[in-house]
Amino acid sequence: MQTPPQQSKPLLLASGSSYRRQLLRKLGLRFTAVSPNIDEAAKPGEAAEDLALRLACQKARALAAAYPDHLIIGSDQVAVLGDSRLGKPGTHENAVAQLARASGNTVTFLTGLCVYDAVCGISHTGLDRCRVHFRRLHRDQIERYVAADQPYDCAGAFKSEGLGIALIERFEGDDPNALVGLPLILLTEMLKRFGVAVF
């Protein structure tokens, strides 16, 4: 019989993302998930790394008043191609256009992470950086992929946990989970600092 992880405080995932909920379940922790509903627009001149970290912290702290006894996890991802940011495409046409730009190029996925203790106001933050090298893709390949995986709510318009893995040659990074939206290796270390041991 598996022993459940030790939790000193209730855990809250500040996210409405089904992908992040699925990832956090891998750790076997009890948690509640609530969408923080914040404004995710970048500030003028804000660097992509700063944006990912700021939004991760903003998400976590936005729920502190409603959950004052919780450890709150916030995470946000920004995808960058050259000097441009790739948001969630939203439509088939936008997804095809994003992947056409990514074809033969490298997209950097920056995932900000914040664990905030609402009791004492202490937080730990970190940034996971993953570089994804895309294959050269023909238009019909892109069209077939987008129709199959429908990655309309994914930054960069592909799902590495699905058929999208066939679009890439390789990736450089510490944690493949971060590509999906939640860097579990980094999160495990942060939770440990707050007394939450996965094992």
Q: Which residues of the chain have pLDDT under 70?
A: 1-7
Q: β-pairing, 84-86 with 32-34?
A: unpaired
pLDDT for position 4: 47
- CA 72 to centroid of chain Cα atoms: 15
Q: What is the pLDDT of residues 98-133, one digit of tens each?
A: 999 999 999 999 999 999 999 999 999 999 999 999
Structure tokens at 120: 């004492």
Q: Which amino acid is at 74?
A: G
153 catalytic? Reply is no
The active-site residue out of 76, 117, 128, 149 is: 76
Q: What is the pLDDT of residues 147-161, one digit of tens each?
A: 999 999 998 999 999
Q: What is the pTM of this model?
A: 0.91
